[in-house]
Amino acid sequence: MSNSQGSHRAARGRGRAAAAGPRGPVTAVVPGPSPVPPHEELTLAARPRPTPTLVDAPAGRTGDATGGAVRLAQAPTVTALTVPAPGGRAGARRGGRRRASAGPEQLRRLVPRALVVAVLAGGTTAFVAEDKAVTLDVDGESRTLHTFADDVGELLAEQGIDAGAAAVSPPPGTRLGDGDVITVGGPRPVTLTLDGVRRRVWTSEPTVGAALRRLGVPADGAYVSVSRAAPIGRTGVTLDVRTERTVTVMADGREHTVRTNAATVREAVARAGVVLHGEDTTSVAPDSFPREGQTVSVLRIATTRVVREELLPYAVERTGDGDLPAGTEVVEREGRDGSRRVMYAVRTVNGVRQKPRVLATEVVREPVSRVVKAGTGPRGAGPAPARRP
């Protein structure tokens, strides 16, 4: 046997020893910065080779095949991978295939998990953002709910309420927002006195303010007897509403124009800065309701009392006398005037004297009537009696 043949057989023998039998580990030394993909490196590390050679070594490198490992000269970094090979060469091949596919498989498993985590993180934010606190009033019973419903109809469906069987405000298709108030139930009665005119109306609005807006009642400057935010219960509500009106007040030769929601003319005059004294009054009833554009005149009234002495004339009493010829009269008693004391009220309106009004009368002296006898007898019966002065 030549030296070359002996060397070749020795090399083959050493290659069989490197396999280390069917249960032994297979060890390979692979350079760190390898251009071969990771799964191919794992396959090479797990693949049993009968005789390590330097066929694939780059030029300028040397190596040997001792100890069942391939060593490459001048490698900057060398990584030793020891892979158990149960089941001999077949097991090593299966292990190599599994390890070769371990990298991509792990990536395929990690990517969905990362997507799930991202979706869950975004979903949590959306979950919090979509939560809305709303107030649901059903037939006057109010409660606060947290919901993810998009509109009123969806909320009612969640609560098991038939939106078609009752009046709903706002309508079922209205989009829900945080803090919204939803009222479910039939219309409520509202007894409304608007600017002195009373009427009865029905509304499905949840609050007084919403009902007034639906009825078209001007809200600016108006007086409302009940808070606008007050809910309208099942039994309804009674409202007294006075809108702002323009009223002109004429007083003391001056004109005063005001915007007011006063309930009476007297109150409107006061808001115009005009003060009524004593018997002062207005051209319209002070307790009447002031109308839009109305002009009210203030009447300055002054009343004085005057006492006067007046004459009471006497009366004349005539009686017939048959002893006296016809055409003759005899005064049996002279008359006398009496007197009385009269108290008058003298009234002036804006400086103009009115007709005096009698307040009281007192008789100071009673009058005495004059008594006269008139003759009814035949003429020429005798001389006429002397006539008393």
Whole-number Å distance between alpha carbons of 308 and 318: 32
Lowest mean pLDDT among 57-61, 165-169, 224-228, 259-263: 57-61
Q: Parse the chain into domains and list their residue ranges.
A: 3-105, 131-184, 188-242, 245-299, 303-377
> How confident is the model over 191-211, as a mean pLDDT?
89
pLDDT at 333 over 60: yes
Using the predicted structure, report yes or no on whether residue 98 has a pLDDT greater than 70.
no
Task: Establish how many alpha carbons lie within 13 A of residue 48's alpha carbon, considering only the half-sphere containing its beta carbon.
Answer: 25
**20-36: b (≥16 Cβ within 10 Å) or e:** eeeebebbbbbbeeeee
Given this chain, do its domains 188-242 and 245-299 carry the same CATH topology? Answer: yes
pLDDT of 75 above 60: no
Average pLDDT of the chain to the nearest whole number: 75
According to CATH, what is the number of the domain 188-242? 3.10.20.30
Higher pLDDT, 378 or 53: 378
The 10s digit of each residue's pLDDT in 310-326 is 999 999 998 888 888 88
Q: Assess if CATH 3.30.530.20 describes domain 131-184.
A: no
Whether CATH 1.10.287.40 fits 303-377: no
Cα distance between the two ends of the chain: 212
pLDDT in tens, 169-200: 888 889 999 999 988 877 788 999 999 899 99
Dig out the tokens for 120 from the structure.
């869950």
Contact call for residues 83 and 25 (beta carbons, < 8 A):
yes
* pLDDT (0 to 100) of residue 234: 72
Alpha-carbon distances, residue 332 vs 125, 318, 371, 378, 388 (angstroms): 127, 10, 5, 21, 7
Output the pLDDT for position 159: 87
Residue 49 structure tokens: 């080779």
Q: What is the pLDDT of residue 90?
A: 53
* pLDDT top residue among 153 and 51: 153
CATH fold group of domain 245-299: Ubiquitin-like (UB roll) (3.10.20)
Residue 40 — pLDDT band, cuts 50, 70, 90?
Answer: very low
